[in-house]
């Protein structure tokens, strides 16, 4: 029988038959798995039925004389030996078709590897050992990759697996761990780190991601912002080592993260010093993060106001308002051509954007405040340094409105105010001038004042005694917290003090800082206003906070609960500051409450359709009703489309039932509560109407903006 294997050029070969008893498995044969893994019983049954259909590749053995070693065809040899052991054939009489090759060990190893690539796929462990053996004799990875039709990266990956710590490689060979887990261990070249993780996790059911994450804890990803800032060349010059990950693109690991952190600190410190000298702030602190929230703990935000409109800006806004009125009149003309309408609509969009830029002008840091405030130098995910736009102070900064005179108030020696009658004045430290006489509680026996440090310590210990006593009275603590949250809304503190001074606690529920002042009316906003009207507010009419507190305590539990629900509901922020990110905890609340946004809010011309361009509306119509619906509106003018859509999405248009159903549940992405923990099968908005609940259920209003009641 003739073999189908193509021999390397220059390798002498002869096809003949050899008795089975003269054949044995060559040590360079790459197959190492047990019989059941190699499907030997199935192979034996096939040979018994049809004979050996393909030559075995053999080479003369050194000992004993006349024997041959099978370096390719190990499965067939084992199947034949299995038949001989069962008495089906006789090893001394059975002729086996072979191709005899005479070549050096490297060439024979290459041939064995190549033929096994073309037959039953080798296990990863077999591939590792085969490539390791062959590379060890030639050292040419590219030649091996080309020879076997694989990429250089594939060969390098198998070589990395071949260098796994022995217990891990043995587990891979025995099929005790998957190739993905083995790759996770091989994400580091350090066998010491491999074994450290292996000894901790080998008896646990962990996945590859867990192994990779544990190994990564002591390293730094090459894509980490710190690594990008430092740069690989500078890191290596400082003695750092890189652990290449051959199995995940762009996931190389820096083995010495302490070096990278030190270099990054030096770079950011130098940049902070440069910026500080340039703009004259009290301090600039570098942090290897894109957010300053945690680092700003214990500091006071300097709330700055945007500069007043210049005469030019005010004049430009007036011009824009006039031009937009003209555009609105022109776009209402029924006879206007579609192309002309588009040009007018585009001009209107540009004018709206221009007004937004003027109105959202950046706040200005007055020169007199610069010596009292600082900022954080942040590190972006792209490894770039940027100065945070928010300023902080170690002491509170109070902005005092200008008064009719220009009297200086420097008696206490602790104000950093500046300015004149036309500007705000600043008080650094947030304290009023000291009274000429000391209060009794601040005086020691004999009439001498206590030191500020001692008074502060005694005040804290006094506070702790009250706190310890309050622990035993949770009902009173709840009354106190609710009262402070509610009362501070209707009786805000003066600019020269704060709630902590007035009420003696940091508990609060201030009104949210809404990004815009005027928004269209909505069902939810009206509902909040109605809820406020229904609250028992008689206690709020007392003059002092003590009397109001006693009046609040006299309410029954239901009235207190209603006040709690209202004050919490109307404390919710609309979004994260100036960003467009949703607030995950609010999304979670919405999913718990099964909030159906479509029941509370429908898109109208005023609140949506007039605010987006025609192309967006047509895309929405295509999404809801297909090309037929969008096609019916394509030739309409923008104002006509808005009017038609308002009726359609309110359910007042005569359309197909499925179109009406889709329109009634549609809300824009910005209105959806995207809760990552909610059941995905419920969808972002589809089907929520089935779980709507009672219109009068107070909790449904919890995530909407607050009305000024």
DSSP string, 172-191: HHTTSS-HHHHHHHTTSS-H
**Which of 59-68, 142-151, 169-178 is the least confident region?**
142-151
Instruction: Name the more confident of 102 and 501.
Output: 102
Q: Coil, strand, or helix at residue 58?
A: strand
Output the pLDDT for position 244.
66
Of residues 124 and 598, more confidently modeled: 598
At what angle are helices 311-331 and 338-359 packed, to 10 degrees? 160
Q: Give residue 140's pLDDT.
A: 72
Please give the pLDDT value at position 407: 42
| DSSP letters spanning 646-671 | HHHHTT-S---HHHHHHHHH---GGG
Contact between residue 377 and residue 388 where contact means Cβ atoms under 8 Å apart:
yes
Which token pair is 34?
Answer: 């047990």
pLDDT given for residue 459 in this prediction = 67
Predicted pLDDT of residue 229: 93
Q: Of the ranges 100-104, 161-165, 540-544, which one carries the lowest mean pLDDT score? A: 100-104
- Could you read off the pLDDT of 160-196 as tens digits, one per residue? 777 788 888 888 877 788 878 888 888 777 777 778 7
Q: What dotted CATH number matches 1-122?
A: 3.90.1530.10
Per-residue pLDDT of 428-437, as tens digits, reads 654 443 333 4
**pLDDT for 642-691, tens place per residue?**
999 999 999 998 888 899 999 999 888 888 877 655 444 343 333 333 33
- Percent of the chain whose predicted confidence (pLDDT) is above 90: 12
pLDDT of residue 139: 61
pLDDT confidence of residue 246 = 53
Q: What pLDDT was estimated at residue 292?
A: 76
pLDDT at 20 over 60: yes
Q: What is the dihedral of CA 154, 158, 159, 165, to 10 degrees?
A: 150
Tell me the per-residue pLDDT of 67-78, one tens digit each, with 9 for 90 and over: 998 878 888 899
The average pLDDT across 349-357 equals 87
- Higher-confidence residue: 259 or 497? 259
Average confidence (pLDDT) over 569-596 = 74
The tokens for 520 are 């269209």
123-137, 343-357, 437-451: which is most confident:
343-357
Residue pLDDT, tens place only, 604-621:
988 888 888 888 889 889
List, as own/partner pairs, every contact residues 539-545 make where C-beta atoms lie below 8 angstroms and the sequence separation is at least 24, other chains included: 540/487, 540/490, 545/487, 545/491, 545/502, 545/503
Mean pLDDT, the chain, whole residue set: 74
Lowest mean pLDDT among 248-252, 303-307, 705-709: 705-709
pLDDT band at 22 (very low <50, low <70, confident <90, very high): very high
Whether the pLDDT of residue 406 is over 50: the answer is: no
Of 103, 107, 91, 95, the C-alpha closest to 56 is 95
pLDDT at 400 over 80: no
Instruction: Give the model confidence (pLDDT) of 211-249 as tens digits.
Output: 777 776 667 788 888 899 999 899 999 988 887 655 555
Rounded CA-CA distance 354/371 in Å is 34
Task: Return the H-helix or E-strand segment holding 72.
Answer: strand 68-72
Long-range Cβ pairs for the range 383-389 (8 Å, 24+): 383/225, 383/226, 383/227, 383/228, 383/229, 384/229, 385/229, 385/267, 385/268, 385/271, 385/286, 387/275, 387/284, 388/292, 389/362
Task: Report the b/e string of 70-102 with b at 16+ CB within 10 A.
Answer: bbbbbbbbbbbbbbbeeeebebeebebbbbbbe
User: Which position has the higher pLDDT, 439 or 340?
Assistant: 340
Report pLDDT for 84: 94
Q: Other C-beta atoms within 10 Å of 199: how many?
A: 11
Compare 256 and 450 and report the one with higher pLDDT.
Answer: 256
Residue 90 has pLDDT above 50, yes or no: yes
pLDDT tens digits along 476-489: 778 777 887 888 77
Q: Which two tokens stand for residue 695?
A: 């219109």
pLDDT at 693 (0 to 100): 37
pTM of the entire structure? 0.36
């Amino acid at each position: 029988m003739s073999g189908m294997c193509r021999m390397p050029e220059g390798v002498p070969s002869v096809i003949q038959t050899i008795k089975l008893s003269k054949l044995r498995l060559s040590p360079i044969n790459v197959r190492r798995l047990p019989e059941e893994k190699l499907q030997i019983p199935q192979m034996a049954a096939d040979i018994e039925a049809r004979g050996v259909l393909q030559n075995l590749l053999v080479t003369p053995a050194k000992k004993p004389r006349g024997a041959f070693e099978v370096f390719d065809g190990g499965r067939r040899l084992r199947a034949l030996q299995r038949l001989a052991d069962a008495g089906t054939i006789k090893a001394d009489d059975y002729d086996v078709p072979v191709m005899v090759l005479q070549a050096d060990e490297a060439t024979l190893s290459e041939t064995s590897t190549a033929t096994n690539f073309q037959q039953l796929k080798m296990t990863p462990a077999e591939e590792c050992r085969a490539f390791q053996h062959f590379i060890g004799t030639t050292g040419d990875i590219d030649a091996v990759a080309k020879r076997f039709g694989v990429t250089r990266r594939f060969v390098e990956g198998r070589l990395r697996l071949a260098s796994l710590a022995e217990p891990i490689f043995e587990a891979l060979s025995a099929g005790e761990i998957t190739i993905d887990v083995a790759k996770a261990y091989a994400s580091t070249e350090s066998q010491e780190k491999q074994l450290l993780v292996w000894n901790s996790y080998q008896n646990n059911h962990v996945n590859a991601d867990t192994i990779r994450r544990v190994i990564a804890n002591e390293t730094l990803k090459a894509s980490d912002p710190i690594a990008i800032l430092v740069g690989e060349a500078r890191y290596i010059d400082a003695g750092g080592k890189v652990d290449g990950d051959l199995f995940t693109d762009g996931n190389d690991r820096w083995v010495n993260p302490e070096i990278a952190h030190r270099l990054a600190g030096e770079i950011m410190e130098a940049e902070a010093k440069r910026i500080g000298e340039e703009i004259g702030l009290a301090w600039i602190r570098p942090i290897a993060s894109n957010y300053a929230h945690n680092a700003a703990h214990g500091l006071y935000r300097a709330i700055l106001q945007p500069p007043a409109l210049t005469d030019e800006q005010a004049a430009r806004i007036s011009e824009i308002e006039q031009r937009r009125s003209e555009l609105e009149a022109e776009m209402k003309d029924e006879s206007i051509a579609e192309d002309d309408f588009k040009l007018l609509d585009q001009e209107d969009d540009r004018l709206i954007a221009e007004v937004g830029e003027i109105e959202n002008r950046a706040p200005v840091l007055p020169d007199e405040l610069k010596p009292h405030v600082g900022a954080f130098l942040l590190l972006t995910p792209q490894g770039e340094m940027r100065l945070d736009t928010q300023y902080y102070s170690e002491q509170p900064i109070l902005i005092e409105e200008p008064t009719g005179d220009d009297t200086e108030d420097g008696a206490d020696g602790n104000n950093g105010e500046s300015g004149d009658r036309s500007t705000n004045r600043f008080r650094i430290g947030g304290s009023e001038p000291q009274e000429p006489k000391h209060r009794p509680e601040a005086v020691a026996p004999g009439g001498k004042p206590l030191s500020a440090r001692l008074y502060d310590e005694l005040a804290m210990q006094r506070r702790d005694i009250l706190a310890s006593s309050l622990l035993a009275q949770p009902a009173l603590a709840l009354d106190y917290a609710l009262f402070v949250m509610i009362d501070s809304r209707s009786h805000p503190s003066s600019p020269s003090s704060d709630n902590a001074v007035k009420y003696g606690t940091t508990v609060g529920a201030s009104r949210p800082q809404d990004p815009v002042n005027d928004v269209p009316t909505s069902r939810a906003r009206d509902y909040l206003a109605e809820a406020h009207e229904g609250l028992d507010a008689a206690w709020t009419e007392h003059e002092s906070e003590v009397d109001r507190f006693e009046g609040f305590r006299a309410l029954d539990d239901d009235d207190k609960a209603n006040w709690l629900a209202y004050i919490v509901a109307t404390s919710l922020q609309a979004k994260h500051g100036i960003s467009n990110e949703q607030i995950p905890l609010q999304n979670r609340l919405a999913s718990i409450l099964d909030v159906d946004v479509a029941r509370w809010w429908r898109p109208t011309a005023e609140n949506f359709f007039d605010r987006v361009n025609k192309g967006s509306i047509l895309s929405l119509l295509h999404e809801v009703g297909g090309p037929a619906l969008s096609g019916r509106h394509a030739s309409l003018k923008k104002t006509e489309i808005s009017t038609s859509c308002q009726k359609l999405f309110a359910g007042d248009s005569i359309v197909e039932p499925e179109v009406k159903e889709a329109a009634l549940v549609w809300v824009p992405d910005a209105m959806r509560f995207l809760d990552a923990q909610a059941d995905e099968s419920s969808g972002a908005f589809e089907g929520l109407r089935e779980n709507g609940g009672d219109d009068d259920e107070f909790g449904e209003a919890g995530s909407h903006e607050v009305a000024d009641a």
